[in-house]
Amino acid sequence: MSVFDKAKDKAEQAIGAAKEKLGEKTDNQDLANSGRADQTEGEVKEAGHDLRDRAEGGVQDVKDKFNK
């Protein structure tokens, strides 16, 4: 995963956490729920990027074995 993708996913999670806390402090359930959704979306994206990177690494390993 590129550094940019990882930073973007982490930022989305951090923003979601801040929105959730603000929503809880101001008794705004819509904001709190939106924050939780943002956090989950960031986590899912991060997991997807990690999975893609592992798959690319596996493909490269197979290519390396055939080239030797």
Which of 45, 36, 44, 41 shows the shortest CA–CA distance to 18?
Answer: 36
Total-model pTM: 0.74
Better-scored residue on pLDDT, 60 or 23: 23
pLDDT tens-digit map of 53-68: 888 777 666 666 677 6
If one counts every other C-beta atom within 10 angstroms of the C-beta of residue 19, the result is 20
